[in-house]
Amino acid sequence: DIQMTQSPSFLSASVGDRVTINCKASQNINRYLNWYQQKLGEAPKLLIYNANSLQTGIPSRFSGSGSGTDFTLSINRVESEDFSVYYCQQSYSLPYTFGAGTKLELK
Amino acid sequence: QVQLKESGPGLVQPSQTLSLTCTVSGFSLTSYNVHWVRQPPGKGLEWMGRMRYNGDTSYNSALKSRLSISRDTSKNQVFLKMNSLQTDDTGTYYCTRDRNYGSYGTFAYWGQGTLVTVSS
């Protein structure tokens, strides 16, 4: 199975900050990397697919980059609604696997 | 619009079998893959398995011996059955759909989730 390692596990930020979350795959997954946001008590929401494609309806302050084994989710000018948990997930091969999550907290 | 909704018992006794239903609308099960993903309380996400558009199934090897996924296309339903439940199977179970045909494993549509507690 492909292991997905996210860092950091916790991230403190203020409204208006730019933040980045990292995700590393245990093997080459090309660009088959997705990012999700999950708010407390809700289902995950797809933000970014194929490493850098913005899902319909997602604000442009979210962006993704990377290929191969190293990927990044960036949030430009964090807003109050962005404080939640973020997961990366590989869709390169079965079983699909997720990172452990990064909790973005208000500083 | 695309909708998925999970249903099933909220409480299952240890060693018993879990049966969940995912009822979908706004798309055809013969055109899109539907997956099951679960999440223990306060923890991360685990892909369990999928029902492909053509009726084929795939399972997470960690669960394969206990898990079965099936469907009824006439009722727009996908079923999950998992036996020999233990307390660490407690969590929220989601059904989810691929973003579009060919975008395999990219989960764009999710049900609300159903909480399953394994306890005597």
Question: What pLDDT shows up at residue B102?
Answer: 81
CB contact under 8 A, A98 and B111: no
Using the Cβ of A63 and the Cβ atoms of chain B, whether some distance falls under 8 Å is answered with no
Q: What is the pLDDT of residues B19-51, one digit of tens each?
A: 999 999 999 999 999 999 999 999 999 999 999
Among partner residues B60, B62, B99, which is closest to A49 by beta-carbon distance?
B99
Sheet holding A4-7, edge to edge: A4-7, A19-25, A70-75, A62-67
- Mean pLDDT, rounded, for A22-43: 98
Among partner residues B47, B107, B111, which is closest to A46 by beta-carbon distance?
B107
Task: Read off the tokens for B73.
Answer: 């296309």
Using the Cβ of A89 and the Cβ atoms of chain B, whether some distance falls under 8 Å is answered with yes
Question: What pLDDT shows up at residue B64?
Answer: 87
Q: What is the pLDDT of residues B47-90, one digit of tens each?
A: 999 999 999 999 999 998 999 999 999 999 999 999 999 999 99
Q: What is the pLDDT of residues A64-106, one digit of tens each?
A: 999 999 999 999 999 999 999 999 999 999 999 999 999 999 9
Average pLDDT of chain A to the nearest whole number: 98
The answer, yes or no, to whether residue A39 has pLDDT greater than 90, is yes
- CA dihedral (B11, B14, B17, B19) in degrees, to 10, reads 20
Q: What is the pLDDT of residues A45-65, one digit of tens each?
A: 999 999 999 999 999 999 999
Q: Report whether the peptide linkage leading into residue B14 is cis, meaning its omega lies within 30 degrees of zero.
A: no
CB contact under 8 A, A49 and B103: yes
